[in-house]
Amino acid sequence: MKNHKIVMLISALILAMSSMHAQTINWGSLDSNRHIINANAGFEYGAVFGVGYGYQIKSNLFPMIANVEYSFPSGENLFDDFKTKIGMQISLFEFHHFQFSTKLHGVFRRYETDYARVLNFGSDLSGIIGYYRSKWFVAGEVGFDKAIITHLKHTTLYSDQFPDVADGWFGPTTGGNFYYGMQAGYSFGKNDLYVRAGKVLTQDFKTSPLIPAYAQLGYNIKF
């Protein structure tokens, strides 16, 4: 039970540090551009940076973009902690420049301290409704970032103090965060500049992360 609580605590910290970074799209300015390269920086638990690549898929049903993303918090060892995402963004409905879209991603995270190394597989699902023009957009977003299964490996420093501690996989559902906020952007030529900001709640709706807010500034180039 103690080991499971440790996993829950560290999983919650992972989610707090890197849950909200995602490529933001101006659906009104995509045109025939197939490739989207993204760079972003923001603040969640601390300063977080990210890069991403999106590819617009030809479809007769819905506009859709397949994308992959990589983000990491600032720190002394940049590759100790990171998050990768791969998935889809789909515009499901459009009416007079209003659009509803969804993001669905699989997530892999790594987090390491002096006491444990944590690997986590999860998912991130969100819905966005907004008003999109060729030069600008504004939208609201609601999402849920879930840590589904977590692998925990303790260091010697920890296991020497607690010899009965167990390593291995724990799950399913070791933690999750709801998030909601606003996003807005300005498009010029083949470029987008955007900002995102919002709040974070843990899945039990009773507690909040240490810093229950996020903010992000991002840039897309399309070709």
The answer to whether the CB of 165 falls within 8 A of the CB of 158 is yes
Mean pLDDT in residue range 39-61: 90
Question: Quick one: pLDDT at residue 101?
Answer: 97
Domains and CATH numbers, the chain: 2-222 (2.40.160.20)
2-11, 119-128, 138-147, 214-223, range with the lowest pLDDT: 2-11
| b (16+ CB within 10 A) / e for 107-117 | bebbbbeebbb
Question: Quick one: pLDDT at residue 76?
Answer: 62
Give pLDDT tens digits for 100-124. 999 999 999 998 888 888 899 999 9
State how far the Cα of 18 lies from the Cα of 81, in Å rounded to an integer. Answer: 10
Alpha carbons within 13 angstroms on the beta-carbon side of residue 27 total 26
**Which DSSP letter does residue 165 get?**
-
The helix or strand, by DSSP H or E, that contains position 93, with its residue range, turns out to be strand 82-95
State the pTM of this model. Answer: 0.85
